Amino acid sequence: MMLSVLLRTAGLVCRQPDVEVSGVTDALSCVKKDSVFVCICGARFDGHVFAAEAERKGAVAVIAQTPTSAAHCYCVPDSRRAFSLLAAAFYGRPHERLRLIGITGTNGKTTTAFYLRAMLEAAGERCAMLGTLGTSVDGKTVETGYTTPKSDMFFAALQKAADRGCGWAVAEISSQALAQKRVDGAEFRLGIVTNVGRDHLDYHGTAEALAAAKARLCLLSRTVLLNADDRSAPVFYEAAERAGAEIYDYSCDPFIPAKKNRFYARNVGGRAQGADLTLCCGAQAYPARINAPGRFSVYNALAAFSAAVLCGVSPALAAETVKSLPQAPGRAQTVLLHGIRVCVDYAHTPDALLAILRALQTDGKKPIAVFGCGGDRDRGKRPLMGRIAAENAAVVILTSDNPRGEDPERIISEIAGGIPAGTRVFREPDRRAAIGLALELASPGDTVLIAGKGHETSQIIGEEKLPFSDMEEVMQRCRREEDGNKQRRILKTEG
């Protein structure tokens, strides 16, 4: 793409000889000859400081919010928004070549995306997925380290999906990405809002700011699908109406009056490992069965069902697909270990921890809970999660969860501040040892919840990113026990 054409997409007029642009980036390390460098003010670095160096490395133009020493500097009111617009244009506006769905919400984004992709594929559609687990095209997943990648990575992934023949792309859109306008260059065929709970207040500051950030998805979407039962729903109805979007909603609460075109679940009957229910759209009703625990699984399946129908999948096929939905890695992922049910879940917010703990209670028997809180993140949620665990777990084991630059013991102490006296609680900052302790305390018939990291395959301690997987740790212990039992049987036979 020629520089003059690219700059025009951000409302800029080229003031230099025209050249073919080789890339758009906000990272100095990625600058190459004839690329465009965008100065972003981040939490740790201010890109404006590197403008002249980017030009020396070959950048043909610099986009900035304030004047820099670069010879070819173009000033814009908002460099983050400009980055998204420029990236979208450079990669050929790939969202126009496929049908893009965005999902935001504190909890349920990944599972809803997994479910929706399964329903679209059941209908014969090819669907890419971008989210917490990485970018997945044609069954191949590449980790990005983001729930929603930076603008250049986001639109490059969409271009790849479109080039490989995908008709759809489902993307998890985080509140930070919306606040930072990473996807402003896109238009979403459908925007889905699952819920709003406490998370990332270290970034947004207030619950109101968090909801307002998520509501920006409504401004970028032609059609929106809202959770009518969520307490923050009015914020999203208002945003969608202001944007002129077509509004649909879904509900599991028969007492919530219908506001818009409604999808709903009725006759929800819980089972130990899932639920039976009826999925409804209009006057049509379809029996379904979810093989995942908890009320939250019903909401995730209902959101995916509603979205699939809006995307043209027949309601009957979407409801039938619910019975065989795939399990998202690290989302209520359960294995049986010598009669002990072990569940690995990504729950790292108060609402999510409460939901999974309640879902795992059977016949009034509470699970053993292993969890921690991330370092250098929202400290206010720590005692809240401690109290929730104390009230809903038989035993609480506090441990590390990506302590980053904080002292793990201090994080544990802040969680413990919400735990009342009399609670059976252990403190073990070594996560591997904490998992081992939970399994030692458990007996056949018990449930162990290992919460907070889910699918993650590393533990961030200080500046180091060390390999660690909750599920792999559980499976290794299972293999070691099986090997030990096998060896004991051999010795007994030989004796």
pLDDT digits (tens, 9 = 90+) for 285-299: 999 999 988 899 999
Q: What is the mean pLDDT of residues 8-28?
A: 97
Distance between CA 102 and CA 218 in Å, rounded? 10
Sketch out the chain's domains with CATH numbers: 3-90 (3.40.1390.10), 94-322 (3.40.1190.10), 333-481 (3.90.190.20)
3-state secondary structure at position 275: strand
pLDDT at 493 (0 to 100): 52
Say if residue 139's pLDDT is above 90: no
Say if residue 490's pLDDT is above 80: no
**Residues in contact with 237: Cβ distance below 8 Å, sequence separation at least 6, in sequence order:** 226, 247, 259, 260
pLDDT at 482 (0 to 100): 64
First to last CA, the chain: 77
Which residue carries 């999660």 as its tokens?
A: 385
Q: Is 59 exposed, middle or buried (0-12, 13-18, 19+ CB in 10 A)?
A: buried
Report which secondary-structure segment, H or E, holds 396.
Answer: strand 395-398
Neighbours of 285 (CB within 10 A): 15
pLDDT at 200 (0 to 100): 78
Q: What is the tally of helices (H) and strands (E) in the chain?
A: 16, 23
What pLDDT, in 10s, does the model give residues 219-265? 999 999 999 999 999 999 999 999 999 999 999 987 776 666 789 99
pLDDT at 428 (0 to 100): 98
Closest C-alpha to 176, from 157, 152, 155, 151? 151
Distance between CA 154 and CA 158 in Å, rounded? 6
Kindly write down the DSSP assignment for every residue of 410-475, as one continuous string. HHHHHHHTTSPTT--EEE---HHHHHHHHHHH--TT-EEEEES-TT--EEEETTEEEE--HHHHHH
Distance between CA 450 and CA 436 in Å, rounded? 11
Closest C-alpha to 249, from 194, 312, 187, 314? 194
Q: Tokens representing 67?
A: 């004047």
Going by the DSSP 8-state scheme, the letter that residue 379 receives in this structure is: S
**Residues in contact with 135: Cβ distance below 8 Å, sequence separation at least 6, in sequence order:** 128, 129, 141, 142, 144, 149, 157, 160
What pLDDT, in 10s, does the model give residues 327-373? 889 999 999 988 999 999 999 999 999 999 999 998 889 999 999 99
Taken in order 148, 151, 156, 162, the sign of the CA dihedral is positive
Taken in order 95, 99, 103, 104, the sign of the CA dihedral is positive
pLDDT at 484 (0 to 100): 56
Say if residue 491's pLDDT is above 60: no
Report which secondary-structure segment, H or E, holds 370.
Answer: strand 368-371
Neighbours of 69 (CB within 10 A): 11
3-state secondary structure at position 120: helix
Scanning 141-224, the segments in alpha helix (DSSP H) are 151-163, 175-179, 201-204, 207-219
Distance between CA 45 and CA 219 in Å, rounded? 29
Closest C-alpha to 324, from 120, 117, 118? 118
Which residue carries 């309601």 as its tokens?
A: 315
- Asked if 18 and 5 touch (Cβ cutoff 8 Å), the reply is no
- Asked if 39 and 48 touch (Cβ cutoff 8 Å), the reply is yes
Q: What is the mean pLDDT of residues 384-409?
A: 97
Say if residue 42's pLDDT is above 90: no
What pLDDT, in 10s, does the model give residues 78-104? 999 999 999 999 999 999 999 999 999
pLDDT at 130 (0 to 100): 97
CA distances from 339 to 342, 369, 443, 471 (A): 9, 17, 8, 17
pLDDT at 38 (0 to 100): 98
- Asked if 229 and 242 touch (Cβ cutoff 8 Å), the reply is no
Say if residue 1's pLDDT is above 90: yes
